[in-house]
Amino acid sequence: MELQNLKGVGEATAKKLAILGVTSLSDLLQFYPRRYDDYSVITKIAALKPGAVSIEATIKQITGRYVRRGMHITEAVVSDETGSARLVWFNQPYRANATKVNQPYFISGTFEISRGRPVITNPAMERASDFPVNAARIIPIYRETKGLKSSTIRKIMAAMKASIEAMPENLPESVIASNKLIPRSSAVSAMHFPASLDDLEEARRRLGFEEVFGLSLASVLNKREAAQEKTHIIPFDDVLAKNFVQALPFTLTDAQRSVSWKILQDMQNDMPMNRMVEGDVGSGKTVVAALAAVMAIKHGYQVALMAPTELLARQHAETIYKLLTPVDMQDQVALLTGSTKPKDRTALYNAIASGKSKFIVGTHALITDKVDMHNLGLVIVDEQHRFGVEQRKALQKKAGGRMPHVLSMTATPIPRTLALTLYGELDISIIAQKPSNRLPIITEIISPNSRAQLYAKIDTELDSGRQMFVVCPLISESETVKALSAEKVYEQLSTKHFKNRKVGLLHGKMKPDEKESIMNSFARGELDILVSTTVIEVGVDVPNATVMMVEGAERFGLAQMHQLRGRVGRGEHQGYCYLIMSDSKEPSRRLRALESSTDGFKLSELDLEIRGPGAIYGQSQSGQLDLRVAKLTDVHLIESARNAAVAFVDGGEALANYPALAAHVAQYRSITNLN
C-alpha cells in the first residue's frame, strides 16, 4: 500500500516522510521515536507541583488577544474537582476558537509559579478520550523534518494502531519462549504507544534481540557452512620457522609468537582457517602474516596478499621481499596491481602459472583478476574485516574449488560485542602488545593561534633528522567545505615557515607511479615533510617519521585519527601527534579522548558510544545493518541473542519456515568489508 493513501498521510506528508527515510508501510511502522516525554500521570490540580504535569480538567473560559503587533496571548482557566489553574499560550491565535468550554480536556505541560501565580505555559491539550495522542500519556518524540512535526506523526501512528497490533510474528516460537520475549506486535505497539516505561523497556529488549538474533544467525550459519569445507593441510616446518625468525632484525614479541602459533596450527588442519588478527597500528602484524606465508610456499602453495590500496600493496611487496630474503624465497614475490603494464602483466601471469612466483601481492581486486591461482593455499587480507558469502565463493572459485586458508588483519579494534555479533564466524586473535622499543606517542590538541610555538617544536625534530606527515581533510580548496586542503597547506608550508625543508605532496588523485615515487622519496628520507590526504591512513610504514600533524582535526573520526597517529612512533624515536583545530572552540570529546589515550581498544569502545553503531560500518553499511533498537554496548542482550542463534541452528529447524527472518539473514550473510 502506498503511504500517501494511508489515513492522515496524503501526498505532501508522504514526501516529508520520504525525507525521513520512510517510504514504505514497514518503514513507517518501524519509524521508532527518538525519545519519550513522560506525561502519563494525571494529577489533581490541588496537588500540582512545579515540573512536567498532566491534568484532566474542564475549560471554564478561554480568550485570545494581541498584546502588541506580532505577540498574541491566549489565556484559559481550567478546573477539576480540586481547584482551578491558569493556562497561557503564546502566538497560537487559533487556540481559543478551537477549544470548547465546559468540556473535559487532557492538558500536559510544565507547571510553574510565575510571579506568585500558578500557570502552565504552552501546554499540549486535547479532548479527553480513551486514547490520548498528544497529551496525558508517555509522549513519543519522533525525528522531525521541516513541515512534519512529531505531533502529526503521532496522529498517523494512532491511525495505524490496528495494523500495528496485527503485525505478524517473525521469530520462532521456541526463541520467544526461552528468552521470555513479548510478541512482535506488542513490542512495536509499545514503541509507539507505551503504556508504561516498563513496557517500553520490554519492547526495546524484544526488538533489539530480534536485530541481534538475525545478525548472529548470519554469522553462525556462515561459520557452520565454512566448517564443512575441506582444504589443504599446510604442515609446520620447524627448521624453516627457526630460520625465518632468527633472521629478523628484531625479536618477536610474545604476542606475535602466540598469534603466529595459532595461525600455524590452524593451517595444519584440513578445515579452512578463517582467522582475524587484530593488532593496534605498529603492533607488527606483517611479520606474523609473512611467517604463515613462507610455510605455505614451502609446501608448494600460492599465497595472495590483498591490501586496500595500491600504495599499501607496493609497500607490502617491498617489506615481504625483505622478510623473505633470508629464507631465500624473495624471488617468489610478485606485485600485481591495476597499474601493472600489460606486457609485465603477461610475464607475471606466466611466472605465477609456472610456479616461479608464489607470493602474489595486490589489491582486493586480486580476487577478480584473471591471474591463475588454482593452487592457492593461503589468502592474507589487510584491513578488510570480513568476507561476505559472495566474496568467499569468488575466492573459492579462484582457488580451483577449494576454500583456501584465510587470514585477515586489522588495526581497527573491534569491541567484543560487535565481534560476537558481526564477526562471530571468525576466530579472532589479538596482538595486545607492541614491540618493547616503542614509546607511547605524545598527543596534543593545538589551537590555531599556537602554530608558531608548534612549528618551533617541529623544527627541533626535523633538525635532528626526523620527518613529519601533515594530513589534511581535502585535496584542493572547495567552495562548499571550509577546510584546509592538502594543496593549500603544501603551498603554505613549502613557501613560508618550512621553505628551507624538502616538502612533498601526496593525494589520491595522483597517478599511481607519481604517488609511488613521492612515497618512496619520503621513505628514503629525501623529503622532510609529506603533506597528504588520508591516503596514508592505513599501513604506511616509515619508522623515521616522528611527527604527525592533523589539520582540521575535528573533521576526522576517532578511529581514523588513531590510525593516522599510528603512522608515527614506529621506530625507536619518540612520536608526536598534533591535532590542529580550525578554530579555538572547546575541543570535542573525540579529540580529548585521543589526547588522553593511545589504547585503540578503549578508543573504539568510546567511538561506538559517541557515534553509535553506524560509526563502525561506514555510511553505506549502516543502512544495510538496520540496527534501530539494539545497543551494541548492551553486552547482556548481545550474548543472549547470540546464544539463541547458536541454539536455533543446533536445533536443526529450517530457517525457511520464517521467511521474513530468512530474508534478513540472507542480507546480513552477504555484508562485507565492515570497516
112 CB contacts (<8 Å, ≥6 apart)? 50, 118, 119, 120, 121
Q: Contact between 250 and ligand ADP (CB under 6 A)?
A: yes
Burial of 337 (0-12, 13-18, 19+ CB in 10 A): buried
Site for ligand ADP in 282-321 (CB under 6 A): 282-287
Examine residue 567 and tell whether it contacts ligand ADP (CB under 6 A): no
φ, ψ of residue 277 to 5 degrees: the values are -100, 120
Coil vs helix vs strand at 381: strand
> Cα(496)–Cα(493) distance, rounded to whole angstroms?
5
222 binds ligand ADP (CB under 6 A): no
Q: How far is the CB of 376 from Mg ion (least distance, A)?
A: 21
Asked if 238 contacts 418 with a C-beta cutoff of 8 angstroms, the reply is: no
Strand 576-580 to 442-446 pairing: parallel
Least spacing, CB of residue 319 vs Mg ion, in Å: 9
Q: Which of 64, 83, 183, 435 binds ligand ADP (CB under 6 A)?
A: 435
CA distance 177 to 632: 23
User: Interface with ligand ADP includes 385 (CB under 6 A)?
Assistant: no
For Mg ion, which stretch binds (CB under 5 A), given 93-101, 207-215, 414-422, 532-540?
532-540
Q: Using the rule CB under 5 A, give the single segment among 39-47, 98-106, 534-542, 590-598 that binds Mg ion.
A: 534-542
> How far apart are alpha carbons 361 and 345 in whole angstroms?
13
Q: How far is the CB of 282 from ligand ADP (least distance, A)?
A: 5
Question: Within 308-341, where are the H helices?
Answer: 310-324
CA–CA dist 181, 187 (Å, integer): 9
The three cell numbers of residue 253 are 614479541
Among ligand ADP, Mg ion, none, partner that 137 touches (CB below 5 to 8 angstroms by kind): none
Q: Which stretch binds ligand ADP (CB under 6 A): 64-72, 164-172, 251-259, 396-404?
A: 251-259
- Nearest residue (CB) to ligand ADP, 51 versus 249: 249
In the list 539, 566, 569, 613, the residue contacting Mg ion (rule: CB under 5 A) is: 539
Q: Which of 14, 252, 394, 647 contacts ligand ADP by CB under 6 A? A: 252
Closer to ligand ADP by CB, 30 or 258: give it: 258
Helix extents (H) in 525-628: 558-565, 589-596, 600-611, 614-625
Residue nearest to ligand ADP (CB): 284
Amino acid at 652: G
Strands 117-127 vs 104-114: parallel, antiparallel or unpaired? antiparallel
Q: Provide Rg for the chain, Cα atoms.
A: 31
Binding span for ligand ADP by CB under 6 A among 75-83, 131-139, 250-258, 263-271: 250-258
* Span near ligand ADP by CB under 6 A; candidates 3-11, 265-273, 536-544, 577-585: 536-544
> How many residues contact ligand ADP, by CB under 6 A?
19
Residue 570 near which of Mg ion, ligand ADP, none (CB within 5-8 Å, type-dependent): ligand ADP
Q: What one-character-per-residue DSSP string does 108-151 give?
A: EEEEEEETTEEEEEEEEEEE--SS-SSSSSEEEE---BTTB-HH
570 binds ligand ADP (CB under 6 A): yes
Count the neighbouring beta carbons within 10 Å of the beta carbon of residue 381.
26
Q: Which residues bind ligand ADP (CB under 6 A)?
A: 250, 252-253, 256, 279, 281-287, 411, 435, 437, 539, 541, 543, 570
Q: Which residues bind Mg ion (CB under 5 A)?
A: 539
